[in-house]
Amino acid sequence: MIPPPKNVKQDARAPSTTELPLDQNLGRITNSVGIPVVNEINPLTVGPHGPILLQDAYLIDKLSHFDRERIPERVVHAKGGGAHGYFEVTKDVSHLTCADFLSAVGKRTPMFARFSTVAKEMGSADTVRNPRGFALKFYTQEGNFDMVGNNTPVFFERNPSAFKDLIAVQKRDPRTHLPSANMFWDYFTLRPVSFHQLLIQFSNRGTPDGFRHMHGYSSHTYKLINHNGLVHYVKWHFRTNQGVKNLSAKHAGELAGTEPDYAIQDLFNAIERKEYPSWTLYFQVLTEKEALNYKYDVLDVTKVISQKDFPLQEVGRFVLDRNPENYFAEVEQAAFAPSHLVPGIAPSADRMLQGRLFSYTDTHLHRLGPNHAQLPINSPINPINTTIRDGPLIMGANGGRNPPYYPNSYGGPHPDPNVREYENDYNVEGIVGRYEYELCERDFEQPRALFKLLAASEQQDLISNLAEDVAMTHEYIQRRVVGVLERIDATFAKRVQEALAKS
């Protein structure tokens, strides 16, 4: 055995606990079906200089799998990191929901979290200016509950048909294959409702200092249903217990060049050091009447609900205390979907949420296949009892001999009419049509309030970040940016215009 090198300086960024023991014996190597391999390096050839034989099954096994080892990259949330942990209830919310994992103070539920950039590619830097995905999978006794949020309380758009477009302008120009400020600002100046999110993105909050120092939000309004069928409208807030920290544009840019995996590395190393990050969950709760009469549409994801009007109510906290053993199996194959809702939690009529109920699951069918829920990272801890059968890559007994249909004469399985999927007296009626959200003065009130809430130094950072990016666009787009900002705040617009003139 070759002895380990001496006097080699340990990379401070990589804890020694991640290294494998040098004296372990993992046994003999096999092919993918367990057959022992006689030689890992040398192919089967006709003589020392002759051609390779087709009967070299191990070489073919190895190369053919290598040719297929990449799965499609996520269109959104491609680059990210994750960890395992647990969620613990700290306050009684049983009056709000019949969800089992929220039923009692002290109850713990295993979970997995994945954080990511939203619109960038797998090979992009962790510190780019972009929203961050904040996806949580709770392995409850009633199935998996996924909270698929972001690190911002609002989003760019409120109609799901716009989702494809707002992502497309943050990708690459179809001709140059380069990021395009013209494409980005051309679209968003024609969709001014996006500026609430854009002000957050171009503030220092657009470049969080890793994943541990950012809040998470459901962004959408959800419904909670209690045992009596009573409904409340709720926004979910996950507030970091590490304190919020952001990067300046300059520092974020430097890290993009020197440490492009900064956030993934920071999360991993903190857990290896046993500095387990945690977040406290709070609800903002509205009755149906309060939601109906609120000054802003609670189903419009471009708006926040003021904490002065509806204060945060503590629910519990989650702690991440275990790193993945295999990134691909646990992080890359993790499949989150807003449609994964357990009894007691239901979607609202938020249009963007309604679109995501379909789109996320459809993405996993494309990336991972129809049986992606059977992968260990996605499999629930409670028994799966379904008539869904077959398809590629079945894991387990595929339902065995039990009938793959319902109803049947052989004992089920059968539906449970007591499950709280919707509230009592859930009723929707109206004339079918394509109803437009009309842009109005109210759409600029919250961006205005956000700008005024920022400290003077934060305002200046926002102005500088905007001007630096907008300066790369055509003059007519620059004028449109300033025009939208004037509807938010005239002084704000003037300062951006002045900054553009100097650029």
Catalytic residue set = 77, 150
Closest alpha carbon to 381 in 148, 144, 145, 147: 144
User: Quick one: tokens of 449?
Assistant: 């309030």
For the chain, the straight-line distance linking the first and the last C-alpha, in angstroms and rounded, comes to: 61
| Angle formed at CA 368 by CA 364 and CA 372, multiple of 5 degrees | 80
How far is 112 from 335, CA to CA, in rounded Å? 11
With tokens 């007691």, the residue in question is 344
For 146, phi then psi, to 5°, come to -110, 125
Measuring CA to CA, how many Å separate 422 from each of 101, 144, 225, 348? Answer: 18, 18, 7, 10
For 63, phi then psi, to 5°, come to -75, -40
Helix (H, G, I), strand (E, B) or coil at 469: helix
CB–CB of 354/160 below 8 Å? yes
| Angle formed at CA 470 by CA 469 and CA 475, multiple of 5 degrees | 150
Closest alpha carbon to 201 in 135, 268, 120: 120
Measuring CA to CA, how many Å separate 82 from each of 131, 264, 474? Answer: 16, 8, 39
CA atoms within 13 A on the CB side of 304: 22
CB–CB of 478/470 below 8 Å? yes
DSSP states of 107-122: -EEEEEEEEEESSS-T
For 278, phi then psi, to 5°, come to -145, 160
Q: What secondary structure letter does DSSP report for 459?
A: H
For 283, phi then psi, to 5°, come to -110, 145
How far is 470 from 475, CA to CA, in rounded Å? 9
DSSP states of 124-151: S-TTSSS-EEEEEEEEEBTEEEEEEEES
Other C-beta atoms closer than 10 Å to the C-beta of 38 total: 10
CB–CB of 230/423 below 8 Å? yes
Closest alpha carbon to 199 in 80, 302, 311, 125: 302
CB–CB of 344/98 below 8 Å? yes
Other C-beta atoms closer than 10 Å to the C-beta of 97 total: 28
